[in-house]
Amino acid sequence: MVILPIRKPFFRSLLFITIFILLFNHFEASRPRKRDYQKNYYYAIELEENSQISPREVAVLLKISYEGQIGALDNHYLFSSSKEMTHLFTRSLNSDFDLSGENNDRVLLEYRSLKEKRKQSPSSLEKRSYEIIDKIVSVEKQKLKKRHKRVPPPIPKPKNKDNNDPDDIGAAYGIHDPGFKYQWHLINPLQTDHHINVTGVWKEGITGKGVIAAIVDDGLDLDSEDLKDNFFAAGSYDFNDHTPLPKPRLVDDNHGTRCAGEIAAVKNDVCGVGVAPDAKVAGIRILSGEISDVDEAEALNYGFQENHIYSCSWGPPDDGQSAEAPKGLILKAMLKGIKDGRGGKGSLFVFASGNGGANDDNCNFDGYTNSLYTITVGAVDRLFAHPYYAEKCSALLVTTYSSGSGSYIYTTDIGPHNCTSLHGGTSAAAPIAAGVYALVLQIRPDLTWRDMQYLQLMSAVPFNLKEPEWDRNAAGRLFSHKYGYGLLDAYRIVQNAKIFKNLGPQVFLEMPIIKVNKQIPMDTKGIVNSVQVTQSELDDAKFGRLEHVTVTVNIQHTRRGDILVDLISPNGIISHLGTPRMYDEHRGGLSNWTFMSVKHWDENPVGKWTIQVKDTQNPEFWGTFNDWRIKFWGEQKNLTGTLATTTDDSVKTTETTSSEATITESPKGHKTTTTSATEEASSSNKENINSLEDESSKSNTWIIAILVMGFAFIFAGLAYFTKKHFWDANGRYEFSALQSSDATNIGEDSIPLTRGNKQFMTSRELFDAFGDSSDEEEETTQVVFENSYMDKYMNEDEKVESETINEKNIDDGDNAGGSGGEDLRQGESINNRS
């Protein structure tokens, strides 16, 4: 018998090809399938967990096509049905049919019919059919809707252009971008302390390396010289046109590119730089057309192990008459993100607070910004004035710079070398915050979504203290419904992050629903109702430190815009949950609407919590306060006295269940923090390839093993393609019809928007967040910078004002006054935590 020699190169090539095919198919399967909303209806179907029911069996039973799993949501699947078939079926029932009505939908009618048969006459169905019906939790027909960019409102142009900016302002930081001198939010030579205080962070080499921010918007110009080197294709997708690359395609598709430039524009000779110039940006395009809940849910979880931050400068309309919150698939996607995103640490959802201030809007009526799972960012202009467009609410965590007082944000625009000097609104504020959080995650990738919120509120800088909005909460921190806990300060939050101790797991205490059922009187007192919280109830819930407070109300009213809702804590701290809105004519009141407040963070929950519902607006309209319930969210209390532990290979730190910081002494006696950035992915794939390419002598056993592996992969591939072909041929039902820009021309003083002389034209809840903790106790000390406004950063008027700010009645002052926190550099004295 002749044994033919085994040719290693041949089998090596065969193995590589097989692996490539399988990996390619896996990659393609992980992407959402292209959807044609013009030809098909789409349905989201949830199956019971561990139901052992295949989605393909559901497709056969309901005569629909299986499209795949919905993003990262377990047990949720997408199906489609031809519109043509649905319309023909409906016409056969009723000639005057309504295409948009769910009562006439073929799939929903089929599902309801099968459920009714299962209930009334089980014997009329095959056993497997009613088993499938029993395991279907819900069937939801998808409807298209539009999300709105928080684009900058028009602001009067400055009368005179400032010419005092030094040409070499960025030289000390290795920045030669020609537009850097116009980026006053990064370094401000006029109002010298009115900027985000980031240059000291850059000097430490903290520039966002290893962090990826996804811009959920209208696309991202990946060919821009300012962005292409930092573009992260693997975390990007276009949910409007269902293509892999989120390229801007419409005339006004410039919003996402501008936001991306604020975060991660590279250092070069084009435009300016981003807050985190070495971070990566992904583009997730959803704002360039109508999308379904499935699209939005998949977008918010897209690449959520690689994408760390989701920058969202959009939401429901800022018209002062909308009240819309994520629910169903979208809410589940947000919960999935904060529970499982970033390896279990939670995706960071950063939302712009909204541009409806001129419409009397309030961000507590936007369920995205009003969510405890998001960081809500407001806006202030370069003069510390509150822009007329900026919304206020009790869910507002922090404020940073944007357009106003004649100035805008200078950033990247559509085109290889294009820039714009006209970006603004809260749309511009949220990406600045996202860029700062990228800096923080570079040195502390172990921080959870709750850690970042707590770190942010304790690092924010109050300002304009003469304004009566400021109030000191029970924990001693200043809070304003206009500004949250104050200005975002990059240097402070990064320094605090170095020694921040991870929070323990999240817990909650939900009080029973309180029935009120009283008509709201037309007076200044309204209806007052209270609930008592005891220490024993907190102990039973293992409740330690208070974080968020949510209040869910049911209020019937013939004009929703007349309703005022306040929450008063046992310490007399008031959160304005719902404020009157002059344009809100909705006659349905508030049905199961949940308000959220961050004002009570660290307050002792024990005592009487009071809700006050008032109506003092229009006597011809009336309402009834039906019921309410309050829920407290916080950090788990460690009742055993021992420390919980967690293992994180990316950061080696010692953590307690408290968020108190720990500083270790270096050999030289200096206070240092031991952290390390996340290492890049391991080289296991390279090692596998190198081992295959090693031309050194191998044993016959190794050669045979490769041969067997190759045949195994080939068999798997053939099985996959055979199954896929069989299903495509037999598993789908196909039906046939029966025969029958902003222009930048702002005058001679306009800012150049590109190189040279050429000018260019220029959008159920989570109960445990699995917070990190530790098994080893170290000496605790204070966080470097706390949110008490230090005398060092006040002018004389504000020092006097700060002594009386705890009083409830604060004298009116000049809103434009006040100075901001100056640059904080290493070597300055640290401030103790209150």
Query: Is 661 in contact with 782 (CB distance < 8 Å)?
Result: yes
- Nearest Cα to Cα of residue 347 among 305, 299, 297, 298: 305
Q: Is residue 322 annotated as a catalytic residue, yes or no?
A: no
**Residue 469 in tokens:** 């909005």
Backbone angles phi, psi at 825, to 5 degrees: -115, 165
| C-beta contacts of 49-56 below 8 A and 24+ residues apart | 49/74, 49/75, 51/75, 51/135, 53/131, 53/132, 53/135, 55/79, 56/727, 56/731
The closest of 266, 241, 267 to 253, measured between CA atoms, is: 241
Determine whether 76 is an active site residue: no
Do residues 313 and 83 make contact, with C-beta atoms less than 8 angstroms apart? no
Catalytic residue, chosen from 427, 459, 575, 802, is 427
Strands 623-636 and 514-519 come out as antiparallel
Residue-by-residue DSSP string for 749-772? TPPP-SSTT---B-----S-----
In angstroms, the CA 685 to CA 31 distance is 22
What is the distance in angstroms between the CA of the first residue and the CA of the last residue of the chain? Answer: 88
Pseudo-torsion of CA 786, 790, 792, 793, nearest 10°? 90
Of 81, 82, 185, 217, which residue is the catalytic one? 217
- Residue 347 and residue 341 in contact, taking contact as beta carbons nearer than 8 Å: yes
210: left (phi over 0), alpha (psi -120 to 50) or beta: left
- Per-residue DSSP letter, 600: T
Measured between alpha carbons, how far is 579 from 165 in angstroms, rounded to an integer? 42
CA distances to 205, 444, 496, 631, 646 from 663, rounded to whole Å, are 21, 15, 11, 35, 19
Could you give phi then psi for residue 823, rounded to 5 degrees?
-55, 135
Residues shown for the chain: 834
**Which sign, positive or negative, has the C-alpha torsion 215, 220, 223, 224?**
negative
Q: What is the CA radius of gyration of the chain?
A: 29
Tokens representing residue 291 in the block: 């999308």
Tokens of 797: 């008027």
Interacting residues of 195 by C-beta distance below 8 A, sequence separation 6+: 184, 185, 186, 187, 188, 401
Per the annotation, the verdict on 217 as an active-site residue is yes
Distances (CA, A) of 131 to 45, 53, 366: 15, 8, 40
* Ramachandran bin of 645, using left for φ above 0, alpha for ψ from -120 to 50, beta for the remaining angles: beta
- Per DSSP, the residues of 402-431 read -SBTTB-EEEE-SSTT-EEEEE-SHHHHHH
Active-site position among 76, 194, 195, 255: 255
- Using alpha carbons only, what angle is made at residue 667 by residues 665 and 669, rounded to the nearest 5 degrees? 55
**Contact predicate 423/416, CB 8 Å:** no
Strand order of the sheet with strand 563-568?
A: 527-533, 607-615, 563-568, 574-578
Note whether 419 and 753 are within 8 A (CB): yes
Name, in order, each residue with C-beta under 8 angstroms of 720's C-beta and a sequence gap of 6 or more: 22, 25
CB 537, CB 606: distance < 8 Å: no
Rounded Cα–Cα distance for residues 148 and 501 (Å):
37
Name which of 213, 61, 8 is nearest 692 in CA terms: 8
- Which has the closest alpha carbon to 372: 325, 329, 306, 316? 325
For residues 54 and 79, the answer to whether their CB atoms sit within 8 Å is no
- CA torsion sign for 826, 829, 833, 834 is negative
Residues involved in catalysis: 217, 255, 427
